[in-house]
Amino acid sequence: MTSIPLILLVLVAVMVPTASAQGGISTCCMKFTSTKVHRELLKSYYQEDKSSCRLQAIVFTTIMDKRICGSPFNLWTKTSMAFLDVNLGHALHPFNTF
């Protein structure tokens, strides 16, 4: 009976350093958001990691620290990315051509 808690302890000991080494457990977008906020309310964006997330999403962060998951093929997403690149000097993350 003591083998089950021991196995669980070993699994936790192995998983925690692995998640930390990868920058923590990521929170991936589960679906694209249809919400379109004013671009002036956006402060940044990044592309989710294709290898660890199901969707290839562009994640916008608002000035209120809310996340908006956009499709990289959506016109609003593309124009919002361009707005942040030009107006806020956001070109920090290289993007693949979609």
Strand order in the sheet with 42-47: 42-47, 58-62, 67-70
Question: Binning pLDDT at 50, 70 and 90, where does residue 18 land?
Answer: very low
CATH number among 2.40.50.40, 3.30.70.2740, 3.30.540.10, 1.10.645.10, domain 26-87? 2.40.50.40
Q: Which residue has the tokens 């920058």?
A: 23
Q: Which ranges in the chain belong to alpha helices (H)?
A: 3-21, 75-87
pTM: 0.64
Quick: pLDDT tens for 24-64. 555 899 999 988 899 999 999 999 988 889 889 999 999 99
Domain residue ranges of the chain, discontinuous segments joined by +: 26-87
Quick: pLDDT tens for 56-84. 999 999 999 999 999 999 999 999 999 99
